[in-house]
Amino acid sequence: MAAGNHSSVTEFVLLGFTELQELLFVIFLLMYIIVLVGNLGMIVLIRTNSQLHVPMYFFLSHLSFLDLCCSSSIVPKLLSGLLAERNVISFNGCITQFFFFAVLGTTEAILLAVMAYDRYMAICEPLHYLVAMPHEVCVQLVVCSYAAGSLNALVHTSSLLQLSFCGPNLVNHFYCEMPPLLLLSCSDTRLKELVMAACIGFIITTSVLAIVVSYACILLTIWSIRSAEGRHKAFSTCTSHLMVVALFYGSASFSYFHPFPKNTDQGKTASIFYSLVTPMLNPFIYSLRNKEVKSTLRRAMNKLLSCLYSPRSCSDQTEAGIT
């Protein structure tokens, strides 16, 4: 615990969901398995197929990684809590969980803006796209996203460590989140609430503004395309990203931009959306609406089936590929 923090609380009890716990355990477990399989599959598919080694799929692989880690930072604790009589987490464990979730959530918000910029360059500046978006630039954009997410998480975590928690220690949530923790503090939290609102507001506002400006330029460019087929083809590469943006920012905004009531059941529902539902749906949104991903997935499945039914032909294909 940080020096100067005079908290008497050494652990928190996560109240989580108090009804239909067995049913919710089964539902959330199945959803988490889909998150793991879907996002890991997307990462492996992109990394192992040379046709997908382009900026859009490079960013998509990191989006899948963030979704995977974001769910993994809270869902295992949620599942164990649904089976336990008391879902207890230590003070340090609570702060650690909050830090990593804040890093991952903020990074994903910024990465979605970066992906919108990538679509802008691909559609509005196609002749300069490969020059403007080489692999080095893509890596720098991703690193900057992680750095900004880490900085934001450090600001909020340091704010939490400066508060005192004298009791009670009942967190009306299924993971350690800032709003319900602020309600438990015996310190004056008004400044912390302002800092939280300012940081989150700045990140969401700038990210959404970047997305809106990028798509405004994209729409103007698409509108200038004469053929309806050309317009449809250009915009079809953006629909998956727009659906993911709507899911992520919609649930996150609802969760954060409302007063801190004593009853946070609505916040729990919104948190389930951006911590479990959105990571589960993202791989399906991109795979079902993207021809390159669908064709690559189809070839991978055919190869897997051929290996299962005819191991000899699979080994022959492997040897031929090595040769």
Give the domain CATH number at 176: 1.20.1070.10
pLDDT computed for residue 128 by the predictor:
85
Specify if 1 maps to a domain. no
What mean pLDDT comes out for the span 199-217? 91
Confidence of residue 137 (pLDDT cuts 50, 70, 90): very high
Residue 122 belongs to domain spanning: 11-293
What is the pLDDT of the chain when averaged over all its residues?
Answer: 83
Specify if 313 maps to a domain. no
Read off the pLDDT of residues 230-260 as tens digits, 9 standing for 90 and up.
677 777 778 888 888 888 888 777 666 655 4
What mean pLDDT comes out for the span 148-164? 91
Phi, psi dihedrals of residue 168, rounded to the nearest 5°: -70, 170
Specify if 42 maps to a domain. yes
Confidence of residue 1 (pLDDT cuts 50, 70, 90): very low
Q: How many domains does the chain have?
A: 1
Specify if 114 maps to a domain. yes
Confidence of residue 263 (pLDDT cuts 50, 70, 90): very low
Specify if 299 maps to a domain. no
Closest C-alpha among 191, 185, 172, 194 to residue 267: 172
Specify if 300 maps to a domain. no
Specify if 133 maps to a domain. yes
Closest C-alpha among 101, 91, 106, 250 to residue 177: 101
> What's the predicted TM-score (pTM) here?
0.85
Closest C-alpha among 15, 28, 24 to residue 277: 28
Residues 6+ apart with CB under 8 A from 39: 64, 65, 67, 68, 279, 282, 283
Place of tokens 């987490």: 89
